[in-house]
Amino acid sequence: MSRKLRQDLHTLAGAYALNALRDEELRRFEQHLLHCDACVQEVRGMTETTALLGSAAARTPPPEMRAAVLDEVARTRQLAPAPPQPFVVTRSRWWQRGLVVVLAACLAALIALGAVVVDQRREISELRSEEQQIAAVMSAPDAEYVSAEPSEGVSVTAVASESMGSLVFTGQGLSQLDDQDYQVWLAAPDGSVRSAGLLTVGADGAVEPLLAEQLADAQTLAVTIEPAGGSPQPTSDPMMSMSIES
Amino acid sequence: MNDEPVAHGPMRNAPEPVPPARPPLAELLTQVARGDERAFEDIYDRISPAVYGLIRRILRDPAQSQEVAQEVLVEVWRSACRYDEHRGSAHAWIMTLAHRRAVDRVRSEQAESDRQARAAASANATPYDQVSEEATSRLESERVQRCLQTLTELQRQSVTLAYYGGHTYREVAKLLSAPLGTVKTRMRDGLIRLRDCLGVEW
């Protein structure tokens, strides 16, 4: 049922890009976008397309408009730059609140994200994995890849295999931490959250693939920065999170 | 290392062969975000026909269109620093702003006072009906027209009624006497076809 709903929402991408949604539907679709990387991607391409429809209607504006605009501009104060976007809104017990995610990706809708994914896939396969298990997840017939860039220069990839109940998480561009560790968490819908381990980040910012097994009902994967050695439960807000429900 | 070919013979005295390429809109927007009014003038010259033309297409009334176009362009200046090039092109950012403002205007009004104001305004407005003469924009516009023709009738009507007409998809369904679900889907697959025809890559 909920999958049906999601699919239904997804078809609203066209109407959204045409600015043809209102009120409740608009709100619901924007909510949906927060959790669906593939939809964001699709909407982007469509918005570029509608912009071309827009400029196809170009016509010369009245000549006096230029002076009027420049005049007003000279009197108009600009907005201050937005504060650097936090990865995620600060709240405690984020894993119980359905998360305010800046980055989210839906494995369920998994649509090839284009070159990024292909590159990531190759990069992943080039990483020497000590554990055969990691290789097995990545080469599983039902392996699904999701990539995202939580911030400039940082990219992360999750590869999940439902049949194996496992997931491999990797990334690059992370800075090495002093006296702290990146810790990966899996959160279930009942609010429980468990550690999936600490990330090992190389001097070049590459993250060694991390294997998370027994995904079971895990719904969200998140990364926090914890005191060195990790914590039993997260003590800070996630720097990134992605939806992994199937 | 200097990779430029060595000039010899008549080449040596040749004038600068290529005029400097126009800076990309996104770059200008970055300069505008730092308060550069010169860069804003460039943006104005580059984008105002598209902004005005789209708004005019939606609102029809010249005076009102000019008013909204001015608002939009000042908004570009005001919020330039909020543009994020990772989310899309500067062109799309500005056109989205223009479309939203125009549609907001269409949807919020229909009030008597507004209609009267509009009637009064159009009475002494000069008609500016000539289409932008810039060759590139004419070519671009022809290309869009060609691609629109590749859509099915229902796709094309769904897309244009929503975009140029400023209608919600529910209104479009009513106008076309088509089921909601169909219109929704046609908008999506219509845009996908259009996107592919135009070679949009994002």
Question: What is each CA distance from B183 to A21, A223, B157, B201, in whole angstroms?
Answer: 12, 41, 9, 25
Cβ(B179)–Cβ(B173) below 8 Å: yes
Q: Which secondary structure element, helix H or strand E, spans residue A148, and what is its range?
A: strand A144-151
CA B118, CA A188: separation in Å to the nearest integer?
A: 57
Please say if the pLDDT value at position A167 is more than 60: yes
How far apart are the CA of B63 and the nearest CA of chain A, in angstroms? 10
Asked if B131 is an interface residue toward chain A (Cβ–Cβ < 8 A), one would say: yes
Give B-chain residues touching A83 at CB under 8 angstroms.
Answer: none
Q: Phi first, then psi: give them for residue A189, nearest 5 degrees.
A: -60, -25
Give B-chain residues touching A20 at CB under 8 angstroms.
Answer: 162-163, 167-169, 172, 187
Average pLDDT estimate for A96-116: 29
Return the residue of A nearest to B168 by Cα. A20
Cβ(A241)–Cβ(A103) below 8 Å: yes
What confidence tier does A82 reach under pLDDT thresholds 50, 70, 90?
low
Average pLDDT estimate for A16-44: 89
Statement: the pTM of the whole predicted model exceeds 0.95: no
Q: Which of residues 15-54 of B touch A (CB under 8 A)?
A: 33, 35, 37, 40-41, 44, 48-54
Tokens describing residue B160:
């244009």
What confidence tier does A178 reach under pLDDT thresholds 50, 70, 90?
confident
* pLDDT in the model for residue B4: 43
* pLDDT in the model for residue B20: 56
Give B-chain residues touching A81 at CB under 8 angstroms.
Answer: 33, 81-82
Size of interface A-B (CB pairs under 8 A): 208
What top-level class would CATH report for the domain B25-112?
mainly alpha
Q: Quick check: A45 and B201 CB within 8 A? A: yes
How far apart are the CA of B157 and the nearest CA of chain A, in angstroms? 12
* pLDDT in the model for residue A17: 97
CA A58, CA A48: separation in Å to the nearest integer?
A: 16
Q: Quick check: A59 and B129 CB within 8 A? A: yes
* pLDDT in the model for residue B201: 81
Give B-chain residues touching A47 at CB under 8 angstroms.
Answer: 88, 92, 96
Please say if the pLDDT value at position A63 is more than 90: yes
CB-nearest partner of B53 from A51, A57, A66 = A57
Asked if A24 is an interface residue toward chain B (Cβ–Cβ < 8 A), one would say: no
Task: Look at the alpha carbons of A43, A45, A46, A50 in this order and tell me if their dihedral is positive or negative.
Answer: positive
CB-based burial, B112-139: b 16+ in 10 Å, e otherwise: eeeeeebeebeeebeebeeebeeeebee
Q: At what angle do helices B180-198 and B169-176 cross, to 10 degrees?
A: 110
Answer with the residue of higher pLDDT: A95 or A120: A120
Give the strand pairing for A193-198 and A180-187.
Answer: antiparallel
Return the residue of B nearest to A116 by Cα. B202
CA A195, CA A181: separation in Å to the nearest integer?
A: 12
CA B199, CA B202: separation in Å to the nearest integer?
A: 10
How far apart are the CA of A214 and the nearest CA of chain B, in angstroms? 35
pLDDT in tens, A198-216: 998 888 888 888 888 877 7
* pLDDT in the model for residue A53: 96
Please say if the pLDDT value at position A96 is more than 50: no
* pLDDT in the model for residue A111: 28
Comma-separated ranges of CATH 1.10.10.10 domains in chain B: 127-198
pLDDT in tens, A136-145: 777 777 777 7
Q: Say what the ipTM of the complex is.
A: 0.81
Cβ(B144)–Cβ(A75) below 8 Å: no
Comma-separated ranges of CATH 1.10.1740.10 domains in chain B: 25-112
Enumerate the H helices of chain B as residue ranges: 25-33, 37-59, 62-78, 90-108, 112-123, 135-149, 153-163, 169-176, 180-198
CA nearest neighbour of B33 among B81, B69, B1, B78: B81
* pLDDT in the model for residue A32: 85
Q: Quick check: A78 and B78 CB within 8 A? A: yes
Cβ(A55)–Cβ(B56) below 8 Å: no
* pLDDT in the model for residue B134: 54
* pLDDT in the model for residue B18: 52
How many CB atoms are closer than 10 A to CB A162? Answer: 15
User: What does the H/E/C string look like for A7-74?
Assistant: HHHHCCHHHHHCCCCCHHHHHHHHHHHHCCHHHHHHHHHHHHHHHHHHHCCCECCCCHHHHHHHHHHH
Q: Quick check: B191 and A49 CB within 8 A? A: yes
Give A-chain residues touching B94 at CB under 8 angstroms.
Answer: 51
Tokens describing residue B14:
């040749």
CATH 1.10.3720.10: does it fit domain B127-198? no
How far apart are the CA of A191 and the nearest CA of chain B, in angstroms? 32
Of the ranges A147-151, A190-194, A232-236, B119-123, which one carries the lowest mean pLDDT score? Answer: B119-123
* pLDDT in the model for residue A94: 37
Low-confidence stretches of chain B (pLDDT < 50) are: 1-17, 111-113, 115, 118-119, 121-133
What confidence tier does A233 reach under pLDDT thresholds 50, 70, 90?
confident
Q: Quick check: B88 and A149 CB within 8 A? A: no
Tokens describing residue B20:
């400097």
